[in-house]
Amino acid sequence: MKVKLYVVSAAAALLLAAVPMMAHHSFAAEFDGNKPITLKGTVTKVDWMNPHIWVYLDVKDDSGAVTAWQCEGGPPNTLTRNGWTKDALKKGDTITIDGSLAKDGSKTCNARAVKLPDGRSVFAGSSGGDAPTAKQ
């Protein structure tokens, strides 16, 4: 498994207009919508706490080196109202996260989508057009 940094395509650029709901703070304060990232790794921990959930995962590169990443998800209250619980994702689960990189260069991302190997999305509802679009 390796970290893949994708070039922004037209479709991806449009998709970024629907970055995750950031009710608590501005997306642009922390993340770069022009730096999409896909992470494949193993869940080490889930913080199911306000103001946003965080998913921690170990990502192994081609040489076998493991890097710890952390990705911000939606607000737990919204996720709860959509029927999700912390147990939807467990330590040891293999997941793929599509998201945006933090601006500070740390191993931090904003998760737009979290998927299990069989393609099922976890925490659906954390993403979806509620976030601000780019400043005009």
- Binding residues for another protein, rule: CB under 8 A, are 10-11, 14-15, 17-18, 21-26, 28-30, 47, 49-52, 54, 70, 72, 75, 77-78, 80-85, 87-88, 102-104, 106, 108, 113, 115-116, 119-122, 124-125, 127-133, 135-136
Shortest Cβ distance from residue 57 to another protein (Å)?
15
User: How far from 27 is each of 22, 99, 107, 124, CA to CA, in Å?
Assistant: 6, 12, 17, 19
| Calpha distance 37→52 (Å, rounded) | 19
Q: Which residue number, 59 or 101, has a Cβ lying nearer to another protein?
A: 101
Shortest Cβ distance from residue 39 to another protein (Å)?
17
Q: Which residue number, 34 or 106, has a Cβ lying nearer to another protein?
A: 106
DSSP code string of 63-123: TS-EEEEEEE---HHHHHHTT--GGGS-TT-EEEEEEEEETT-SSEEEEEEEE-TTS-EES
Q: Which residue number, 34 or 61, has a Cβ lying nearer to another protein?
A: 34
Cα atoms found within 13 Å of the Cα of residue 26, Cβ hemisphere only: 8
Q: Which residue number, 2 or 25, has a Cβ lying nearer to another protein?
A: 25
